[in-house]
Chain A
Amino acid sequence: MLLGRTANGLYWMNRYIERAENMARLVDAGLRMALTRTQDASEEWHSVVISAGSDVAFTQKYSEFTATNVADFLLRDTSNPSSVMSSIETARHNARMVRTALTRETWESTNEAWMALKRMLARPIDQRDLPSVLDAVKRETALIRGSLFGTQLRNEIFDFAQLGTYLERADNTARILDVKYYVLLPSISWVGSTLDNYQWESILRSVSAHRSYRWVYEAEYKPTNIADYLIVNARMPRSLTFCYRFILEHLNFLCGDYGTRHASHATAERIHAMLKVGSIKDVFDAGLHEFLGNFITENTRLGDQIAEDYRFY
């Protein structure tokens, strides 16, 4: 038996841990671009901010998209609710609230991540330290995930935690793709050209998939393959299909445990079916942007429905 408020806390704790990790990865990809390209760095940073969903808030505060501004806003700024620091604060806040549902290891790794990052992000980051700070964020969040997987009982507690993780991750992957969709669209210019190679790599890098891509597809980046990888591939841990495979699995566990099937099951199944496209070409033909926009809306709707079905509030 689980309190609705506790389910809510577990869900958001894990959404925010996932968000912190993704934010670090996004900044990492931006940094990489800024380092390898001499021009257009500000455009790249702008694109990073849009992918983070923080465009409006950022421009209210800054006029220039520089590495310093963007890193500060996305990593440290507590007025930005999705910054790494805010996310870790919120994650820990929720973890404290649901502490009785966590193993000692899971709680301590969350608490220690918070302590370490609070210390590390207390002052503006020196550009020279940025890579090590980003590594630390990824390491701390990996430790939390490791404790969760290694020690938590696979019951409703774990199900709600995982639902949070995969809903956040799916949202994130879809947004990154959506921001860059134009890069993937077929056009005359990329026939036989490597012009956009670095852009394509940046997309893969934002989801830590630039190496594994080569294990699955041919060495050369192809927009259709990249989209296939991030949308359809069921084994790529950050793809939309992968996320929905697990969202469905955990909803089914809950259904089995409680003996009740809710509206959210049907929604999740519908979204999963939407991802089962015959070929990625169909998605391109119908419009990648429209497809992703629709996905993001449906994903958000599922989150709301889960909150309602399981009495989060």
Chain B
Amino acid sequence: MAAFDEMLPETTGLRRPYSAYDRWLKEQDPGRLTQKMEDAERVFRKTGITFAVYGEQEASERLIPFDIVPRIISGQEWRRLALGIEQRVQALNAFLDDIYHRQEILRAGRVPKQLIAANEAFLPEMIGVRPPAGVYTHIIGVDIVRISENEFYVLEDNARTPSGVSYMLENRETMMQLFPELFQQIKVRPVENYPALLRQSLAAVKPKGVEGTPTIAVLTPGIYNSAYYEHAFLADQMGVQLVEGQDLRVVDGHVAMRTTEGYKQIDVLYRRVDDAFLDPLTFRPDSALGVPGIMDVYRAGNITIANAPGTGISDDKAIYSYMPEIVEFYTGRKPILGNIPTWRCSEPDSLKYVQEHLSELVIKEVHGSGGYGMLVGPTATKKECEEFAKKLAAKPANYIAQPTLALSTCPIMTEKGLAPRHVDLRPYVLVSDRIQLVPGGLTRVALKEGSLVVNSSQGGGTKDTWVLDD
């Protein structure tokens, strides 16, 4: 299965968005480029842009490999993507509001009731709660794959606490340090205002009754969390406090942080702690990462939690397969960005098909993330397939299956020169009283030849993503 290469497709030759870059690249001395690759690694290590890998004692802090060849998207391509993403994000928020209130989409029979009621990501505690400004999912990372010149699909909606945006920003920063001349020659739309937009966006959804500028904080599980670097980075860039559960408590009906001068009220909390750990009085009682009683403050409308608790019901992989219906139900239009065809193994006919075509499909856990617990049929061994088949037979409703798509490729720089590798794209969307996207996102790339798994926890790398100002 030949993949579409975004720089140099076999049939049509060099694509236009890459023409200026290609001209520049041909003038470069290969030795200098190798040197730049080493420089890049040093920059990342020095800055401490690392992530933790669970279960690996030795390499407890690792770098995500960075590739120096940018992934380039034309302005026109981006405009189309942006429209599709905005439409989708609008639908996600409308769906969440509906699901926690009148549940009209269930009454209309467009999404099965069972899928919601029996879903762990659905929080009964959120029924009837209307978050400040009516926004549920404030920060969304929409994973998009491309398979040809004009075919883009949404692979996944990350509507809980999408990570990786710090890499988008640091990748650009690093590229500008390494190749300042490139940015003189090629007009690339900037991404560096993301933290400022995030701050404005969070401030715009402050609770009613908060006069003036609200106090914003980022809630992190702490320095051992795999994305701690990002939490610190975002707090720093926004100029807000980075807090942990141990810093917070409920004081006089508000959430407050312990400062050197006593407790100070927080109005908007950008939390990077999962729902289950948010409030030991409401959710997991053993959680030390959250704030006892924060849900009461939330229900009383005295704090904004971004993203709202319970948003996971919208990015669940079982719900994903209904996204085309969901988009149409709430926006009244066909989705601009399509879904990848998905077999729900909970349905007997689909299960049968999946079981018969195991070696051709990608099978994912409904609640999984990060590339764990999935089977990539075409590259799996016979033994892996057999083992997976057993798990599938035992709990079919736990799985969905998708065809193995020929994800587009982009060249990466290797010791032997350019070599194509599969990529995906995660643009970041901010929702407040409006929807905002920074042009670009995080391009994840599978560094192993032929591999389709781009997750950083599975050996994937990243690239700077350019949206051209054309």
Q: How large is the interface on A (under 10, 10 to 19, 20 to 34, 35 or more residues)?
A: 20 to 34
Residues of A within 8 A of B261 (CB): 1, 258, 260
Residues from 1 to 51 in A contacting B, C-beta threshold 8 Å? 1-5, 7
How does the 8 Å CB contact mask read for B245-258 relative to A, with 1 for contact and 0 for none?
A: 01100000000011
B241 CB within 8 Å of chain A: yes
A304 CB, nearest partner CB in chain B, Å: 16
Q: Tell me whether B48 and A3 are in contact (CB under 8 A).
A: no
B259 CB within 8 Å of chain A: yes
B46 CB within 8 Å of chain A: yes
B38 CB, nearest partner CB in chain A, Å: 15
Residues of A within 8 A of B228 (CB): 96
B36 CB within 8 Å of chain A: no
Q: Tell me whether B259 and A2 are in contact (CB under 8 A).
A: yes
B201 CB, nearest partner CB in chain A, Å: 19
How does the 8 Å CB contact mask read for A276-313 relative to B, with 1 for contact and 0 for none?
A: 00000000000000000000000000000000001100
Candidates A4, A111, A260; contact of B48 at CB < 8 Å: A111
Q: Tell me whether B259 and A1 are in contact (CB under 8 A).
A: yes
How does the 8 Å CB contact mask read for B231-248 relative to A, with 1 for contact and 0 for none?
A: 010011000011110110
A97 CB within 8 Å of chain B: yes
A3 to B47, CA, bound (A): 23
A311 to B48, CA, bound (A): 29
Q: Tell me whether B260 and A2 are in contact (CB under 8 A).
A: yes
Q: Tell me whether B258 and A107 are in contact (CB under 8 A).
A: no
B267 CB, nearest partner CB in chain A, Å: 14
Could you tell me the dominant secondary structure of chain A's interface residues? helix
Residues of B within 8 A of A3 (CB): 241, 243, 247, 257-260
B35 CB, nearest partner CB in chain A, Å: 20
A228 CB within 8 Å of chain B: no
Residues of A within 8 A of B47 (CB): 104, 108, 111
Residues of A within 8 A of B115 (CB): none
Q: Tell me whether B232 and A311 are in contact (CB under 8 A).
A: no
Q: Tell me whether B242 and A7 are in contact (CB under 8 A).
A: no
Residues of A within 8 A of B367 (CB): none
B180 CB within 8 Å of chain A: no
Residues of B within 8 A of A7 (CB): 260
A108 to B261, CA, bound (A): 29
A72 CB within 8 Å of chain B: no
Residues from 199 to 214 in B contacting A, C-beta threshold 8 Å? none
Contacts known (A100-B242, A112-B46, A156-B260); A5 close to B247, Cβ less than 8 A: yes
Residues from 74 to 99 in A contacting B, C-beta threshold 8 Å? 93, 96-97, 99
B223 CB within 8 Å of chain A: yes
Q: What are 19 of the A-B contact pairs (CB < 8 Å)?
A: A1-B259, A1-B260, A3-B241, A3-B258, A3-B259, A5-B246, A5-B247, A93-B223, A96-B223, A100-B235, A104-B47, A111-B47, A115-B46, A160-B260, A254-B260, A260-B261, A310-B260, A311-B258, A311-B262
